[in-house]
């Protein structure tokens, strides 16, 4: 009901402005004869088109007006001319609808109250037979009027959409900008990944190997001290474990051998807190999408374990024919900063795959990390 009233108001306003614009069209044709008038017409067309586009967007469900984008003057003029018939037709249908509604109310009142329909002599009272006779035709006319109003509203929306649609040059410029941003995000994500691998190798495996070398050197100088050999063996085992951990974080082999679900189970097994995995996939996503989804889940679980104080993490992965959605939520203290290093790196990684990452982490929790990745 509210939507119908809003549409009726939008069409009524459109009829009023169309009548005014019809008069202004005559002045515009006269202004074309004067050079100064021709120069002023594009600006005047933009000024008149903007409130019309806003009316269609707010009342008729048309495209929203971008406040940062100015409609070209010539396109604005074409839009104003194209919507003139729609505005006048909408006003005509509204007048007919209101007239028919008033007449129907008078007829029903005359029949129900047994009062004369007209004030003229002789008095005339509508009978039940006449009401039954005119009701089908009235219902058909009402349907045609409402269908006509819906058609006019659709006409207005289509005209506004064509007026606001970006030109080919604008589309190409937006695409170039998006590609440049995506390229920068890929480069930044790769650099971050390289720095993280270097840091893991330097702070972990490299230190283990240095200690192993020192122990082996001491063992060579003192062959009788068996405990040095035992310590060297232990250091070698730890270095091997850490090296496997680093290689797993770079790219787990389970992604290729067992698929995304198996790789996520390995995340749960390695996590220092309980992680529940709910992975519903009818088919394996593309390798690039699979890798990004695993990376998002792995980093989100790691962040939850390190910073949130959570007791449990829930991972939910769903896929459709066109997109994969991975949601990681924990019951921690919240307050995560989406612009922080870890989450910002996640956002760049997801953006490089043309996906969207959202983080909801109010103070007190819970924290929810959601990644949507296109699969097409």
Per-position DSSP letters for 268-327, written without gaps between them: HHH-SS-EEEEEE-SSPPPHHHHHHHHHHHHHHHHHIIIII--S-EEEEEEE-SSEEEEE
Looking at residue 327, what is its pLDDT?
92
Strand intervals (E) in the chain? 275-280, 313-319, 323-330, 356-360, 367-374
Least confident range from 16-25, 31-40, 103-112, 289-298: namely 31-40
| Domain boundary, last residue among 198, 222, 250 | 250
Please state the domain count of the chain.
3
Which helix (H) or strand (E) segment holds residue 181: the answer is helix 168-200
Contact 307, 336 (CB under 8 A): yes
The model's pLDDT over 167-208, given as tens digits with 9 standing for 90+, comes to 677 778 878 887 777 766 666 666 566 666 666 666 666 676
Give bridge partners of residue 327 from the DSSP assignment.
316, 370
Q: What is the DSSP string of 29-44?
A: HHHTTSHHHHHHHHHH
pLDDT given for residue 314 in this prediction = 92
pLDDT value of position 316: 92
Query: Which of 180-189, 193-202, 246-255, 273-282 has the largest mean confidence?
Result: 273-282
Q: In the numeric block, which tokens belong to residue 252?
A: 């787990």
* CA 38 vs CA 32, 41, 74: distances in Å: 5, 5, 11
Residue 66 has pLDDT above 70, yes or no: no
Task: Print burial letters for 257-266: b (CB count within 10 Å at least 16), e (below 16).
Answer: eebbeebbeb
Is the pLDDT at 261 greater than 80? The verdict is yes
**Higher local confidence (pLDDT), 54 or 227:** 54
Statement to judge: residues 74 and 93 lie in one domain: yes
Residues 95 and 197 reside in one and the same domain = no
Judgement on whether residues 6 and 146 belong to the same structural domain of the protein: yes
Q: Phi first, then psi: give them for residue 324, nearest 5 degrees.
A: -120, 135
**Mean pLDDT value across residues 227-240:** 70
297 lies in the same domain as 358: yes
Phi-psi label, residue 110: left if phi above 0, alpha if psi -120 to 50, beta otherwise: alpha
Same domain, yes or no, for 42 and 190?
no
Structure tokens that stand for 26 in this block: 């005559």
Domain edge (last residue) among 232, 250, 268:
250
Where does residue 47 rank: exposed (0-12), middle (13-18), buried (19+ CB within 10 A)? exposed
For 51, the domain range is 2-164
Segment 217-242 shows an average pLDDT of: 69
Provide the whole-model pTM.
0.46
Element (DSSP H or E) covering residue 145: helix 128-164
Q: Mean of the pLDDT values across residues 3-24? A: 80
Express each pLDDT in 98-126 by its tens digit. 888 888 888 888 888 877 776 555 777 77
Confidence of residue 328 (pLDDT cuts 50, 70, 90): very high
pLDDT in tens, 284-324: 888 888 888 888 888 888 888 888 888 899 999 988 878 89
Same domain, 345 and 266: yes
Same domain, 81 and 15: yes
Are 186 and 312 found together in one domain?
A: no
- On whether both 7 and 111 belong to a single domain, the answer is yes
On whether both 113 and 213 belong to a single domain, the answer is: no
Classify 46 as helix, strand or coil. Answer: helix
66 and 149 in a single domain? The answer is: yes
Residue 325: strand pairing partners: 318, 372
Taking residue 77's Cβ as centre, other Cβ atoms within 10 Å add up to: 21
Write the CATH number for 339. 3.30.565.10
Q: What is the DSSP string of 320-356?
A: -SSEEEEEEEE-S-----TTSHHHHHHHHHHHHTT-E
Q: Which of 164, 193, 216 is the last residue of a domain?
A: 164
Are residues 18 and 145 both part of a single domain?
yes
């Amino acid at each position: 009901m509210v939507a119908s009233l809003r549409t009726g108001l939008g069409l009524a306003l459109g009829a009023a402005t169309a009548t005014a614009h019809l008069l202004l069209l005559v002045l515009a044709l006269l202004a074309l004869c004067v050079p100064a008038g021709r120069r002023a017409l594009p600006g005047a067309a933009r000024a008149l088109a903007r409130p019309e586009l806003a009316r269609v967007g707010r009342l008729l469900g048309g495209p929203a007006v971008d406040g940062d984008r100015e409609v070209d003057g010539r396109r604005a003029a074409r839009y104003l001319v194209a919507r003139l018939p729609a505005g006048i037709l909408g006003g005509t249908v509204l007048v007919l609808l209101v007239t028919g509604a008033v007449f129907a109310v008078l007829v029903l009142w005359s029949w129900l109250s047994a009062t004369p329909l007209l004030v003229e002599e002789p008095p005339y009272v509508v009978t039940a037979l006449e009401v039954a006779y005119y009701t089908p035709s009235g219902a058909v006319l009402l349907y045609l009027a409402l269908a006509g109003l819906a058609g006019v509203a659709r006409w207005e929306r289509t005209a506004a959409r064509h007026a606001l649609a970006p030109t080919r040059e604008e589309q190409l410029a937006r695409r170039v900008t998006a590609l440049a941003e995506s390229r920068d995000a890929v480069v930044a994500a790769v650099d971050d990944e390289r720095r993280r691998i270097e840091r893991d190798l330097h702070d972990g495996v490299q230190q283990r190997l240095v200690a192993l070398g020192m122990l082996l050197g001491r063992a060579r100088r003192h062959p009788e001290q068996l405990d040095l050999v035992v310590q060297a063996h232990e250091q070698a085992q730890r270095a091997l474990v850490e090296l496997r951990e680093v290689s797993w974080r770079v790219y787990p082999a389970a992604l290729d051998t067992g698929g995304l679900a198996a790789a996520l189970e390995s995340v749960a097994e390695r996590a220092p807190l309980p992680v529940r995995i709910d992975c519903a996939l009818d088919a394996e996503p593309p390798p690039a999408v699979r890798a990004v989804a695993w990376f998002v889940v792995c980093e989100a679980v790691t962040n939850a374990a390190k910073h949130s104080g959570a007791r449990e993490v829930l991972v939910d992965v769903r896929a459709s024919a066109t997109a994969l959605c991975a949601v990681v939520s924990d019951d921690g203290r919240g307050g995560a900063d989406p612009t922080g290093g870890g989450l910002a790196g996640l956002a760049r990684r997801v953006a490089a795959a043309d996906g969207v990452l959202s983080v909801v982490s109010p103070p007190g929790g819970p924290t929810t990390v959601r990644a949507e990745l296109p699969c097409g």
